[in-house]
């Protein structure tokens, strides 16, 4: 594996796997171009070196081959706009004679965007022949699509075998994602606090199991906390509870005790008489919530309790909100934790926020630039948190 920033792309055609899977409206206009922007530093570095760029991506989930709805041609004008002054061509197929010719005639400083990889079933099947055809288009392979790194597809993993070690590498976005995740999971400075929230225990069991091997402290908030509180004999009223996970929760608590990992559950909760933005609210100890009431956020004491742990940490991982942050009455706990993570970061801790709703919350409350890293790869980052080997990473590193 070569390091992207050390590589000189002069005179080379770089085949770059990007994640341009952006949302489009009915008029095929891009409604959020974050993913395209995220790959610009990688593209620009290759062009500045005097190389050319062949971009390949998927868009949506086409079922039966080519279709207007999922064509990457809708993105060309916007890519041109973002790359100001750079010649951006579009190949109406990602393989075949036309794509081969267009790739071969690309000049330094030029960009070619290939049509949707998923117009071929071979892409998701990880077909070797298809991967080999794609590989023949470029001299160097760059994977900058962290969002699909957990898939063993032709363009994200299988393709890497057709390039020698020094001609395959992560792009800048992927490099940052991998480095941040490795910093937390492989080289964490202690104390290492993981903050896990969100709705369900069942979604987070593998993450919690992996964290029990790595973290010194685990803060459990959000709806999932109540299954743990119930497992400990608490009264949780009508709070979210997964009956069939109570045993799992007990097992995880026992394992934490054996391993000396501190588990922090919210001492109190903001409780509501219904799941509604306009509900009547009150405060209660999290282990004695009256019947007919439900915990929808961590309470003020829990905010202080969690903040203290966070502020004494050197490494912080955050996945999942502390309450129903979409409703103003129940967002205080999530904001408070975001503030504590930001303060700890300012004091020198490394903080990584990853996975769906916690990323949305950090963005919503304006903390994006106050934490060390916010991951763009939802599902991929979660699999990393679960301790799985990601095919897209392994293919480059091996
Ligand atoms: P997840 O996708 O598992 O991270 O869960 C995120 C969702 O959990 C958000 O939509 C929150 O509104 C929801 N959530 C957080 N805390 C609670 C709670 N105490 N009760 C019910 N839902 C919650």
Ligand 1 within 6 A of CB of 321: yes
Which residues of the chain are under the pLDDT cut of 50? none
Which of 241, 242, 324, 333 to probe ligand 1 with, by most ligand atoms within 8 A of CB? 324
| Main-chain phi, psi angles of 281, to 5 degrees | -125, 160
CA of 269 to the centre of ligand 1 (A): 14
Q: Find out whether the peptide bond into 191 is cis, omega within 30 degrees of 0.
A: yes
CA of 199 to the centre of ligand 1 (A): 4
pLDDT per position as a tens digit, 279-330: 999 999 999 999 999 999 999 999 999 999 999 999 999 999 999 999 999 9
**Domains in the chain, CATH or no CATH each:** 4-175 (3.40.50.1260), 188-385 (3.40.50.1260)
pLDDT per position as a tens digit, 329-387: 999 999 999 999 999 999 999 999 998 788 889 999 999 999 999 998 888 999 989 99
């Amino acid at each position: 594996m070569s390091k992207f920033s050390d590589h000189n792309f002069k005179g080379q055609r770089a085949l770059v796997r990007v994640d341009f899977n952006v949302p489009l409206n009915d008029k095929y206009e891009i409604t959020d171009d974050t993913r395209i922007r995220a790959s610009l530093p990688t593209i620009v570095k290759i062009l500045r070196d005097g190389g050319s760029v062949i971009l390949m991506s998927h868009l949506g989930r086409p079922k039966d081959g080519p279709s207007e709805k999922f064509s990457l041609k809708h993105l060309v004008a916007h890519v041109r706009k973002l790359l100001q002054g750079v010649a951006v061509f579009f190949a109406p197929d990602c393989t075949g004679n036309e794509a081969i010719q267009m790739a071969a005639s690309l000049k330094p400083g030029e960009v070619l965007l290939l049509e949707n990889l998923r117009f071929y079933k071979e892409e998701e099947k990880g077909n070797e022949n298809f991967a080999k055809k794609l590989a023949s288009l470029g001299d160097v392979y760059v994977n900058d699509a962290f969002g699909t790194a957990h898939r063993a597809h032709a363009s994200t993993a299988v393709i890497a075998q057709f390039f020698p070690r020094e001609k395959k590498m992560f792009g800048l976005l992927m490099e940052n994602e991998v480095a941040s995740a490795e910093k937390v999971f492989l080289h964490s400075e202690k104390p290492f606090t993981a903050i896990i929230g969100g709705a369900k225990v069942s979604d987070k069991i593998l993450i919690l199991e992996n964290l029990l091997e790595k973290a010194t402290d685990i803060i459990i908030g959000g709806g999932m906390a109540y299954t743990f509180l119930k497992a400990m004999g608490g009264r949780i009223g009508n709070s979210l509870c997964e009956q069939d996970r109570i045993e799992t929760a007990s097992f995880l608590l026992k394992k934490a005790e054996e391993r000396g990992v501190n588990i922090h559950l919210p001492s109190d909760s903001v409780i509501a008489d219904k799941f509604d933005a306009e509900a009547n609210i009150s405060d209660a100890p999290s282990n004695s919530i009256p019947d007919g009431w439900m915990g929808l956020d961590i309470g003020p004491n829990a905010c202080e309790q969690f903040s203290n742990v966070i502020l004494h940490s050197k490494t912080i991982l955050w996945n999942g909100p502390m309450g129903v942050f979409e409703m103003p009455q129940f967002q205080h706990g999530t904001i408070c934790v975001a503030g504590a993570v930001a303060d700890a970061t300012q004091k020198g801790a490394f903080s990584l926020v990853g996975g769906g709703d916690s990323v949305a919350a950090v963005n919503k409350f304006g903390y994006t630039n106050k934490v060390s890293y916010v991951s763009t790869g939802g599902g991929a980052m979660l699999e990393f948190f679960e301790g799985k080997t990601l095919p897209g990473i392994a293919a480059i590193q091996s």
